[in-house]
Amino acid sequence: MATEQKGMAVPEDNKEENSVLPEPKPPEGTTAASASGEGAKEKPSVPDSETKPATPVAKPETPAPATGDKPAAAPAAAKPAAPAAKPAPPKPEGPKPEPWQSELVYKLKAQYGSGIKEASTYVGQKYLVVDSSIAYEILLRMRDDELYDYCVDITAVHYPKREAQFDVVYILYSFHHNERVRVKTQIKDGETLRSAVAIWPTSNWLEREVYDMFGIGFEGHPELKRILLPEDWKGHPLRKEYPILCQDQQWVKNNLGIESGQ
Amino acid sequence: MSDFENDYRHAKSGQSGPGVVDYLDLDTKDQTYLDANELVLNMGPQHPSTHGVLRVILKLDGEKVLGTECIIGYLHRGVEKIAENRTYAMFNPYVDRMDYVAAVSNGLGYCEAVEKLLNTEAPPRAQYIRVILTELCRIASHQVWLGTHALDIGALTPLFYCFRDREEILRIFEKYCGARLTTHAFRIGGCIYETYDGFEQDCLKFCDAFLPKLDEYEELLTTNRIWVRRTKGVGILKPEDCIALGVTGPVLRAAGVKWDLRKAQPYECYSKFDFEVPTGLNGDTYDRYLVRIEEMRQSVRIIRQAVDGLPQGPIMAKIPKVLKPPVGEVYTSIEAPKGELGYFIVSDGSLQPYRLRVRPPSFVNLQALDKMVRGLLVADVVAVIGTLDIVLGEVDR
């Protein structure tokens, strides 16, 4: 138990360094020196990865867990990334979402108008962004009329800086079309969505997990309570403001009889 | 099968046939036996047949199950939160710890998802190596399932047979990447290790030796009267229920739905191989057993083809040292031994995933437990948990 927690605590330091470092720009001299050092280190290992030997190629991975290397490894990783970011903006001919044109989209747009905020494909994967007020209707329609009969997953993404903080994502699959579609809707903190349990019974646990991890409520859910964490736990861990080492200390004290779980 | 026709168990599960009484109906309408109070029985979390730390609260009438509630989360480690605080490459070993009896499959799913995000693909040789190892892993996972499932029901020997034969697979893993269980065999962009000398021979040798052993398992169980009585007609899940509950993998196929992601949406190089997708008829525990046994045979077929066609060439795609996938989100899934294993990754263009969601097959399949055990006996709950083939590390993440 203790070792596990130590293991968790150590990479945390690394993570903080990682996230802090890119912001304050280090002096020119050091950047150049360490960047060239990094470049020299990198070059020999590149051909290696194309041939085969296991050991030298494994190196780029090993520095991370090893405690001693960390302060050195973290800036090394962060710095080449920073110069790389400058030429990056022209470079990414990376995929962009493209408008998704199909009969289904025309039909939905004709019926719901601006309720369908976006219909796009990204790297060949289709998704719809719909208004939260019509989300339930769209889901029902997707199942009944468009034969998306299998609800693969329901999850959420937290964007604390946005006004509508949460994306709730429904991943649907159609056995008939052999195709997946993601239906996304955006809601504010404290707003609720209508539960999809009546459409797909599988939503039961999936929505409970979203509630547990993000604190998003689902109206009409038969038993909306926490599923992975204890019932009286405070906080919703997958929100961005919840730090990685945070625990409900009071709960730990009351239930485990120890001062801290960490 | 006619001697089972009037069997009590068949009557209980509501199958049609001569002399069959609808057990549920009998209970609700006509309270013929003791008007006893509802009994609440706690099973787990430390119970050998729950395959980990799963707690099931059973509501019983006598020995008949009226309803269940699963309490999960004992192994919750916050894998999705950890992912947000690790770089893409650093998170790779963590996925092995979810479904720890099929670590290779987890790694494949994760690498697939990040590669999709990077818009790249593993080179052909790496894809073949991945397929060979993943299919070996499928066999190993099914062996663990068969051994423990049979043990729960009371057959001790299959456990020893399965674990003995699984050792051969683990030995191949160990020779390939140095680890037996949490292998971390694949990297984003391909494989990091070239095959060792004699890898092909080892795989073929395993295939040749394994098929007769599979027949041995079947000899022990398939026509064994106790096994058949404990599994036939137990925990029936109809195809429409499977789909509504999102159940995938062998459980779905045993209900007669011929759906396997390796065929439906082929990933890696699965489209190049010739194999069948076995399906069942009744969707009961016995059919799920047959489906998984047949899947092992098909995996052997795939391994043989992949070893024969193993191409030469690089094993790693040209990907940058520092992985910074472009802004975007993808969902990709693979056919893990337990069902559809999906990864939904949102990238904000930084070193770490902005959000990583794992769609675990065990978690979703476990939800069907309540539907499957209603009206059965307590002993059947054990059989149904076994047949669902859950791994709590993956349920709780």
In a 3-state reduction of DSSP, which class is residue A111?
helix
Range A133-151 average pLDDT: 87
Q: Which domain does A155 fall in, by range?
A: 98-228
In a domain, A258, yes or no: no
Q: For the ranges A216-225, A246-255, B123-132, B350-359, which has the lowest average pLDDT?
A: A246-255
Q: What is the dihedral of CA B104, B106, B110, B116, to 10 degrees?
A: 80
pLDDT, one tens digit per residue, over A2-15 is 344 443 334 444 44
pLDDT at A10: 40
In a domain, B73, yes or no: no
pLDDT, one tens digit per residue, over A186-227 is 998 888 889 989 889 999 999 999 999 998 989 888 888 889
- Option in A97, A182, A244 nearest B85 (CB): A244
pLDDT at A17: 41
Shortest distance, CA B123 to any CA of chain A (angstroms): 11
In a 3-state reduction of DSSP, which class is residue B269?
coil
In a domain, A252, yes or no: no
- Option in A42, A226, A228 nearest B321 (CB): A42
Tokens representing B56 are 């099931």
Residue A255 to residue A247: CA distance in whole angstroms:
13
pTM above 0.80, yes or no: no
In a domain, B386, yes or no: no
Query: Are residues A37 and A124 located together in one domain of the fold?
Result: no
Among B176, B184, B245, the strongest candidate for a mutation testing the A interface, having the largest count of A CBs within 10 A, is B245
In a domain, B92, yes or no: yes
The CATH number given to whatever domain includes residue A167 is 3.30.460.80
pLDDT, one tens digit per residue, over B200-227 is 999 999 999 999 999 989 988 888 888 9
Shortest distance, CA B193 to any CA of chain A (angstroms): 6
Average pLDDT, chain B: 86
Contacts of A152 in chain B (CB under 8 A): 246, 331, 333, 340, 342, 359
pLDDT at B161: 92
Query: Are residues A211 and A112 located together in one domain of the fold?
Result: yes
In a domain, B91, yes or no: yes
pLDDT at A91: 53
Q: Residue B339 above 80 pLDDT?
A: yes
Nearest CA in chain A to B345: A157
pLDDT, one tens digit per residue, over B34-63 is 556 788 888 878 777 777 788 888 888 878
Q: How many separate domains does chain B show?
A: 1
Query: Are residues A129 and A215 located together in one domain of the fold?
Result: yes
Of A60, A85, A110, the position where a domain reaches its end is: A85
Residue B2 to residue A247: CA distance in whole angstroms:
59
Query: Are residues A75 and A113 located together in one domain of the fold?
Result: no
In a domain, B24, yes or no: no
Contacts of A202 in chain B (CB under 8 A): 244-247, 364, 367
User: Which helix (DSSP H) or strand (DSSP E) does residue B140 occupy?
Assistant: helix B124-153
pLDDT, one tens digit per residue, over B293-332 is 999 999 999 999 999 989 998 988 888 888 888 888 899 9
Q: How many separate domains does chain A show?
A: 2
pLDDT at A93: 60
Query: Are residues A53 and A118 located together in one domain of the fold?
Result: no
Query: Are residues A47 and A158 located together in one domain of the fold?
Result: no
Nearest CA in chain A to B365: A202
Beta bridge pairs of residue B344: B331, B357
Q: For the ranges A86-100, A188-202, B23-37, which has the lowest average pLDDT?
A: B23-37
Contacts of B247 in chain A (CB under 8 A): 202
In a domain, A244, yes or no: no
Q: Residue A229 above 50 pLDDT?
A: yes
Contacts of A49 in chain B (CB under 8 A): 192, 316
* Residue A25: count of CB within 10 angstroms of its CB: 9
The CATH number given to whatever domain includes residue B331 is 1.10.645.10
Pairs of CB atoms within 8 A across A/B: 134
pLDDT at A135: 87
Q: Residue A45 above 60 pLDDT?
A: no
Shortest distance, CA B347 to any CA of chain A (angstroms): 11
